[in-house]
Amino acid sequence: MSAHLYDALRACFPQRDKPFLTTPDGRVVSYGELEEGSGRLASALRGLGVEPGDRVAVQVEKSPEAVLLYLACLRAGAVFLPLNTAYTPAEIGYFLGDAGPKVFVCDPARRGKLTDAANEASVAHIETLDAQGRGSLTDKARRASAKFTNASREPDDLAAILYTSGTTGRSKGAMLTQENLASNARTLVDYWGFGPNDVLLHALPIYHTHGLFVALNTLLMAGGSLLFLPRFDADTVIRLLPKATSMMAVPTFYTRLLQHPELDPALVKHMRLFTSGSAPLLAETHREWGAKTGHSVLERYGMTETNMNTSNPYEGERIPGAVGFPLPEVSLRIVDPETGAPIARGEVGMIEVAGPNVFKGYWRMPEKTAEEFTKDGYFKTGDLGRMDEKGYVYIVGRGKDLVITGGFNVYPKEVETEIDALPGVVESAVIGVPHPDFGEGVTAVVVRKQGATIDEREISRALDARLAKFKLPKRILFADNLPRNAMGKVQKNELRSTYQDLYKKAAS
Ligand code: AMP
């Protein structure tokens, strides 16, 4: 049997001297070097005793070597386990204890702080790798053979475990198989028209499904190239866009680039594709980007557990605020969140998906896994959405963000959309806050445009005419910005905790 995912990617590699990636300071890693480097790293891992099925946990800065390490894990048959660079030693301790990796690779500067956690979890080897690609693992790889016989893997064998961000309870390890990743990469190459002439501007983190699988696997399977930025930086993106054909982004990239004085149609005229995902792209941002650049952003929807589920069309209308159609091979349905029964087209319900993209389950959590799948094999995404007459899917929010006030359901997105449309408003987040009379009080946190003076009373008055009374925020508060994580997701948990006593105070 073949090594599956790596072999599937390998089959699409172009000639050896073609650039696989170029960094902003001009370093080029060719496809030949990718093969050699990942071969050496795979040999080094094997030298450390890593066997197929062993986990390799990695908390390192983004670098070309970190990408090669991911590919080396695939080749060695190891289960790649990337960890957010922001995690603290205590959090790392939890992940290492839960996943039981054979090897943990971290930044040399953090090794001292992380050694106890690794020892406690009985990790056999701690190795290091820094942002420049230096470290103990690189030293071992340099001495190891570039020739490596890829481990034999079945489609259902694990390729990676990605821990979910865990906003409710502890993080869970999503087990992704070789075929989950391979099938999604094949679909995206085809659906988004990627080919060997593509140069993808890559400014996303590579510990998350978006930058790691959506971007890297898709480009590798197309035999294309990357402009590989260590992180998002608007000036660097503007400088490099003329050399790119496509960019995959989170919504904040677009809002920041829109503020850049050098963004104009000439700069991006040659571009083939701009995509957005991981968090909702405001319809207004979609329109502004279109007006400013002449490009319609292609918004898509996915998650760690399922890879990509839906996408606006490559050819055809890309609708602001919609996440598009279910991808080929993905079955998507919208059901009553309480009963699981199908609901009428256009109604809001829970999104469920099935297909080769959907993960195998949560690592060492068989009961949690069973709870999250229906009897007929659909995964309950936890996202609320609706499908319009033409089949476009719209995300209304996370199920757990639903506000229940006086027994009525309020979908935050509906209220946010109304507030965001008001002059002087940049964006808003609507949350439920404990309320003595209503259970939860609808509460809005609003970011105003610079110099705007719109206040609580004016917003209330404007909403009054547009929303049923029970949906109206009981309080409207103002903030300079909304708390977001690295993927641009608004951290509603954080807002709920900041304002948890809001109505207590008012009532006493
Ligand atoms: P993650 O597992 O970190 O990728 O987060 C997945 C979640 O992000 C999904 O379940 C959605 O709630 C959200 N998400 C991803 N893409 C979109 C999108 N285009 N619009 C709205 N929400 C999205």
Tell me the CA–centroid distance for residue 164 and ligand 1, in Å: 11
Q: What is the pLDDT of residues 426-460, one digit of tens each?
A: 999 999 999 988 889 999 999 999 999 999 999 99
7-21, 349-363, 405-419: range with lowest mean pLDDT: 405-419
Q: How many CB atoms lie within 10 A of CB 470?
A: 14
- What is the model's pLDDT at position 166? 58
Answer yes or no: are the C-beta atoms of 249 and 273 closer than 8 Å: no
- What is the model's pLDDT at position 507? 47
Confidence of residue 296 (pLDDT cuts 50, 70, 90): very high
Give the torsion sign (CA, 119, 122, 124, 125): negative
Q: What residues contact 180, with CB distance under 8 A and at least 6 apart?
A: 159, 307, 356, 357, 358, 359, 360
Report residue 108 as tokens.
């040399």
Pocket around ligand 1 at a 6 A CB cut-off: 164-165, 209, 277-280, 299, 301-304, 323, 381, 383, 395, 398, 487
Query: Considering only CA atoms, which residue is closest to atom 9 of ligand 1?
Result: 303
Q: In testing the pocket of ligand 1, which one of 83, 204, 301 has its CB within 8 Å of the most ligand atoms? A: 301
Q: In testing the pocket of ligand 1, which one of 286, 489, 491, 493 has its CB within 8 Å of the most ligand atoms? A: 489
Tell me the CA–centroid distance for residue 143 and ligand 1, in Å: 42
Report residue 369 as tokens.
């896994």
Confidence of residue 505 (pLDDT cuts 50, 70, 90): low
Tell me the CA–centroid distance for residue 302 and ligand 1, in Å: 6
- Under DSSP, is residue 378 helix (H, G, I), strand (E, B) or coil? coil
Position in ligand 1 atom list of the atom nearest CA 300: 19
CA gap 122, 206 in Å, rounded:
26
Query: Considering only CA atoms, which residue is closest to atom 5 of ligand 1?
Result: 303
Residue 508 has pLDDT above 50, yes or no: no
Q: In testing the pocket of ligand 1, which one of 380, 383, 396 has its CB within 8 Å of the most ligand atoms? A: 383
CA gap 231, 202 in Å, rounded:
8
102 or 409: which leads in pLDDT: 102
CA gap 127, 73 in Å, rounded:
14
Q: State CA 227 to chain mean position distance.
A: 19
CA gap 282, 89 in Å, rounded:
35
Give the helix ranges, DSSP H, for 297-340. Answer: none
CA gap 357, 302 in Å, rounded:
10
Q: What residues contact 371, with CB distance under 8 A and at least 6 apart?
A: none
Tell me the CA–centroid distance for residue 208 and ligand 1, in Å: 12
- What is the model's pLDDT at position 282? 87
Answer yes or no: are the C-beta atoms of 163 and 171 closer than 8 Å: yes
Q: What is the mean pLDDT of the chain?
A: 95
Q: In testing the pocket of ligand 1, which one of 250, 306, 351, 395 has its CB within 8 Å of the most ligand atoms? A: 395
Q: What is the pLDDT of residues 242-293, one digit of tens each?
A: 999 999 999 989 999 999 999 999 999 999 999 999 989 989 899 999 999 9
Residue 7: in which H helix or E strand, if any?
helix 5-10
Q: How many CB atoms lie within 10 A of CB 343?
A: 17
Query: Considering only CA atoms, which residue is closest to atom 10 of ligand 1?
Result: 303
Position in ligand 1 atom list of the atom nearest CA 162: 2
Considering only CA atoms, which of 252, 378, 371 is closest in space to residue 326? 378
Tell me the CA–centroid distance for residue 30 and ligand 1, in Å: 33
Q: In testing the pocket of ligand 1, which one of 164, 167, 303, 318 has its CB within 8 Å of the most ligand atoms? A: 303
Q: How many CB atoms lie within 10 A of CB 356?
A: 17
Strands 225-228, 19-22: pairing is: parallel
Taking the model in full, what pTM does it have? 0.91
Q: What is the pLDDT of residues 187-233, one digit of tens each?
A: 999 999 999 999 999 999 999 999 999 999 999 999 999 999 999 99
Tell me the CA–centroid distance for residue 17 and ligand 1, in Å: 37
- What is the model's pLDDT at position 424? 96
- What is the model's pLDDT at position 486? 85
Query: Considering only CA atoms, which residue is closest to atom 23 of ligand 1?
Result: 279
CA gap 101, 81 in Å, rounded:
9
Residue 480 has pLDDT above 50, yes or no: yes
CA gap 145, 142 in Å, rounded:
8
Triad 11, 16, 22: Cα angle to 5°: 105
Query: Position 126: which residue type?
Result: I
- What is the model's pLDDT at position 3? 65
Query: Considering only CA atoms, which residue is closest to atom 7 of ligand 1?
Result: 303
Q: Maximum distance among all alpha carbons in the chain?
A: 72
Considering only CA atoms, which of 24, 83, 69, 67 is closest in space to residue 486? 83
Mean pLDDT along residues 346-367:
97
CA gap 201, 217 in Å, rounded:
14
Tell me the CA–centroid distance for residue 174 and ligand 1, in Å: 15
**Sequence-ordered strand ranges (E) for 254-399:** 273-276, 298-303, 307-311, 325-326, 331-335, 349-354, 361-362, 379-387, 393-398
